[in-house]
Amino acid sequence: MRTTVGIVGAGPAGLLLARLLHNAGIDSVVLESRDRAYVEQRQRAGILEQGTVDVLRAAGAGERMDREGLRHDGIELRFDGRRHRVDFPALTGGRSVTVYAQTEVCKDLIALQLEEGGPLLFGAEALAVEDAGTDRPRVRFRYEGREDVLDCDYVVGCDGFWGVARQAVPAGLSRVFERTYPFGWLGVLADVPPSHDELVYARHERGFALLSMRSPEVSRLYLQVPQGATAEEWEDEAIWDELERRLETRDDWRLRRGPITSKSVTPMRSHVHEPMRYGRLFLAGDAAHIVPPTGAKGLNLAVGDVVTLARALTHEKETGSAALLDAYSETCLRRVWQAERFSYDMTTLLHSDPGASPFDGRIQLARLERIAGTRAAETDLAEGYTGFPLDEAV
Ligand code: FAD
Ligand code: DHB
């Protein structure tokens, strides 16, 4: 098989890239190791930055998002039993975010790709990217029990943190910057209307809690849990009890309980692989970088990468100039590091680190007081949360 751009992975990065290239008249083939149902049901992100919403709409993938997505103009920070609302439009010149689940973004992009785009093969596992340093890169993959080869002009690794594409960068050229955290998130979906109309980020001595949602009828909630904890060890009632404790306020706010329909634990890490390009192999999304989920940056960063790459490939096609492709890694990394900083700040602001001292706890509260009490600090959070415009580095 042969194509212009071989895309490994059909998460949000790979699917959106295929759509953007299709719109620009550039051929691609997407290889995805899992089946369609798995990709469409994997519970993950829920918050789209304004820039992500604009990109999906412009790509012709925004119709259902515009109907069903929930525009959110703020979040609530909860600490010390107090509640502080951060008003995004007022602080950022009108920006907001949209609650629309990653599962739905993927469903919309898959339907479009199968209807209008190039091949998207489910159950096609990439085994290796080969000859990335030459003009003829290729992907070796297994499909329907047979090994095959996809010959390409360019290969894009959109295969997430555990993918194979990154391994094609020679070890001597790779630099990895990493941090792990001594806790994870237990995430649950519950068939109950959200207990607040905006997201609530709570700092508590017992650990972080997050109240989010998927729709007016479905709540999404997260609890900080110790590293290595499993979802099975948490009974449903214990989850609700713990959420109630960590989200408690001094006023009469109440948590609504309902049937929990799914639960899973996610480890937390920060990870950046530099550079994001080797020869004719480009890395995009989680294949190149991971952020801890606090602040919801991962999917939005993946979107930023593939928009930058689609523009660069289109520029090359139209002008013959590889200048934007050559700048790809550097352009993306400026934005990536700002998101890494933001996610790190949000994580350390709100989680309780088992190794922290009482002093560290007081510093956290002082940082929260500063955000709640000064417009400059609050604006910094609002700008980071709603996302930096795609054309700007920071
Ligand atoms: P992925 O979604 O990981 O997709 C990679 C794809 O490649 C997968 O489909 C995988 O099956 C496939 N693949 C892997 N190996 C191979 C192979 N060898 N061959 C073929 N295919 C392969 N981000 C946000 O922006 N907002 C949020 O609110 C948010 N919340 C989150 C909450 C949780 C609990 C978690 C875990 C993550 C959250 N994120 C959030 C992060 C976000 O989900 C990821 O950043 C996003 O999925 C990255 O997209 P991707 O396409 O780069 O990678
Ligand atoms: C969600 C996830 C996040 O990481 C976050 O900061 C906010 C919301 C969510 O899945 O809804």
Judge whether 359 lies within some domain. Answer: no
Ligand 2 centroid distance, CA of 263 (Å): 14
| Ligand 1 pocket mutation, candidates 17, 48, 122, 159, criterion most atoms within 8 A of CB | 159
Atom of ligand 1 nearest to the CA of 47: 28
Q: CA–CA separation, 130 vs 127, rounded Å?
A: 10
Domain-located, residue 385: no
275 near 132, Cβ under 8 Å? no
Dihedral angle, C-alpha 92, 292, 122, 174, nearest 10 °: 100
Residue 229 forms part of a structural domain: no
CATH of the domain at 330: 3.50.50.60
Q: Considering the domain boundaries, does residue 312 fall inside one?
A: yes
Nearest atom within ligand 1 for CA of residue 299: 25
297 is catalytic: yes
Residue 140 maps to a domain: yes
- Distance of CA 216 from the midpoint of ligand 1 (Å): 25
Q: Which residues line ligand 2 (CB under 6 A)?
A: 45-47, 199, 210, 212, 220, 293-296
User: pLDDT value at position 187?
Assistant: 97
This model of the complex carries an ipTM of: 0.95
Distance between CA atoms of 356 and 224, rounded to whole angstroms? 15
Distance, in Å, from the CA atom of 141 to the CA atom of 124, rounded to the nearest integer, reads 6
pLDDT string in tens for the chain (394-residue length):
999 999 999 999 999 999 999 999 999 999 999 999 999 998 888 899 999 999 999 999 999 999 999 999 999 999 999 999 999 999 999 999 999 999 999 999 999 999 999 999 999 999 999 999 999 999 999 999 999 999 999 999 999 999 999 999 999 999 999 999 999 999 999 999 999 999 999 999 999 999 999 999 999 999 999 999 999 999 999 999 999 999 999 999 999 999 999 999 999 999 999 999 999 999 999 999 999 999 999 999 999 999 999 999 999 999 999 999 999 999 999 999 999 999 999 999 999 999 999 999 999 999 999 999 999 999 999 999 999 777 654 3
Considering the entire predicted model, what is its pTM?
0.96
Measured in residues, the chain has a length of 394
Residue 372 counted as domain residue: no
> For this structure, is 72 an active site residue?
yes
Q: Are strands 199-203 and 74-79 parallel, antiparallel or unpaired?
A: parallel
Tokens of 137: 């890169």
Instruction: Count Cα neighbours of 200 within 13 Å in the Cβ-side half-sphere.
Output: 28
Pocket test for ligand 2, best of 212, 223, 350, 386 (most atoms within 8 A of CB): 212
Q: Is residue 106 part of a domain?
A: yes
Overall number of domains in the chain? 1
**Concatenated DSSP letters of 325-363:** HHHHHHHHHHHHHHHHHHHHHHHHHH---TT--HHHHHH
Provide the pLDDT for residue 393: 40
Expressed as residue numbers, the domain containing 286 is: 2-72+96-178+268-351
How many angstroms separate the CA atoms of 358 and 373, rounded? 22
Is 339 within a domain?
Answer: yes
Q: How far is residue 118's CA from residue 59's CA, in Å, rounded to a whole number?
A: 15
What is the C-alpha separation between 155 and 173, in angstroms, rounded? 18
Alpha-carbon distance 127 to 139, whole Å? 7
